[in-house]
């Protein structure tokens, strides 16, 4: 009999939460033959990634997944065998009551981090006052964690490292609006190497338009200044975005979903973690850089760290961009090696299924 799983997703950070949950739900359904319901509280945001969603529907089927609108008047009386609470989103009290009746298993899927404490807390339990047990599942970059989302169709990075950066550098730009976007574009424009920058239509588009002295930019439009040419892309599906990452030489990514996809693309990337109070995101960044680029030569590592830290600042120095381009070959080789190392580990969905079946 097919196992029934429910995945609960509360949209907090625009596309990050739903992006991870939608990928996971599809993989669990297609590769592990599970009956999946995805509960989403904001269908309007979800529709950007799942265009065929009908906003007025309380229940609908998309790509084999039953998408449920998580709203106040939803029917929470039918709990699944396995319940995934994504990112501590909190489950409806009525649904938790149904879980008690069903004797459902309960797992909280945590945010991805490279910090070493994730290994200590992965797979730990939290007994609840109602007698149920909540299990904590930490994705991660080591065998002692829950792994990374990676579908079977993703190929390993096999091509040899390039010996030097290409003449016409292709860059993708996906970031949070508080990033030093204007100073980055200025640094690229003032540089000697021509850069073609692809910018999907997101909340940063007004700042890009402002850099070029435009009131707005439209999808399909191309604008140039100095060494920089920007091409505005539509908001991309996950599959199209993954393709963009593999075609570019440098990728600016953010949050969790695009971060992991940049790893599988095997191209040099600059990650912007989600902004947290009191700079709590900076240790997350430093832990990832230390873990991911263990094989990188020290000079290239210093350049990569300087680039990442500048991208978290309020301004971006042109010299940081120039240094990164000069070290691109070494960074590229180390990025590919790190991707191959992670590819040898078991993916998150597979490890999650094993973990849940053993509860």
Q: Are residues 9 and 40 in contact, defined by beta-carbon separation less than 8 angstroms?
A: yes
- Helix ranges, the chain (H): 16-32, 43-49, 93-102, 117-121, 181-190, 205-211, 238-247, 257-265, 281-292, 298-311, 318-326, 328-343, 348-357
d(CA 156, CA 266): 9
The catalytic residue positions are: 17, 256
Phi-psi category of 64—alpha, beta or left, where left has phi over 0 and alpha has psi -120 to 50? Answer: left
Residues linked to residue 61 through DSSP beta bridges, in sequence order: 66
Q: Are residues 46 and 123 in contact, defined by beta-carbon separation less than 8 angstroms?
A: no
Pairing mode of beta strands 35-40, 4-9: parallel
d(CA 130, CA 124): 18
Q: Are residues 261 and 267 in contact, defined by beta-carbon separation less than 8 angstroms?
A: no
């Amino acid at each position: 009999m097919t196992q029934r799983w429910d995945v609960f997703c509360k949209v907090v950070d625009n596309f990050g939460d739903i992006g991870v949950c939608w990928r996971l739900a599809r993989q669990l359904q297609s590769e592990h033959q599970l009956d999946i319901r995805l509960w989403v509280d904001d269908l309007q945001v979800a529709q950007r990634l799942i265009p065929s969603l009908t906003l007025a529907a309380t229940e609908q089927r998309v790509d084999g997944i039953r998408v449920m609108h998580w709203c106040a008047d939803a029917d929470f009386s039918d709990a699944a065998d396995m319940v995934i609470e994504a990112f501590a989103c909190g489950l409806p009290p009525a649904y938790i009551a149904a879980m008690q009746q069903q004797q459902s298993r309960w797992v909280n899927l945590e945010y991805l981090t490279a910090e070493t404490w994730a290994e200590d807390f992965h797979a730990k339990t939290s007994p609840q006052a109602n007698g149920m047990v909540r299990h904590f599942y930490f994705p991660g970059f080591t065998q002692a964690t829950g792994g990374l989302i990676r579908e079977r169709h993703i190929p390993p990075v096999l091509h040899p490292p390039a010996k030097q950066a290409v003449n016409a550098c292709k860059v993708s730009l996906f970031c949070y609006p508080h990033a030093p976007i204007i100073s980055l574009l200025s640094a690229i424009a003032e540089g000697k190497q021509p850069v073609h920058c692809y910018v999907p239509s997101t909340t940063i588009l007004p700042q890009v338009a402002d850099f070029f002295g435009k009131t707005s930019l439209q999808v399909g439009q191309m604008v140039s200044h100095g060494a920089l040419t920007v091409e505005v892309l539509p908001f991309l599906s996950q599959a199209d975005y993954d393709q963009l990452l593999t075609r570019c030489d440098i990728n600016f990514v953010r949050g969790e979903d695009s971060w992991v996809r940049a790893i599988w693309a095997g191209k040099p990337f600059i990650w912007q973690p989600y902004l947290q109070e009191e700079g709590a995101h900076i240790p997350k960044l430093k832990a990832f850089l230390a873990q991911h680029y263990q094989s990188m030569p020290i000079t290239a590592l210093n350049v990569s760290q300087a680039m990442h830290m500048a991208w978290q600042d309020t301004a971006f120095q042109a010299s940081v961009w120039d240094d990164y381009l000069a070290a691109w070959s070494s960074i590229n080789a180390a990025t590919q090696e790190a991707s191959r190392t992670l590819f040898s580990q078991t993916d998150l969905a597979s490890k999650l299924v094993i973990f849940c079946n053993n509860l």
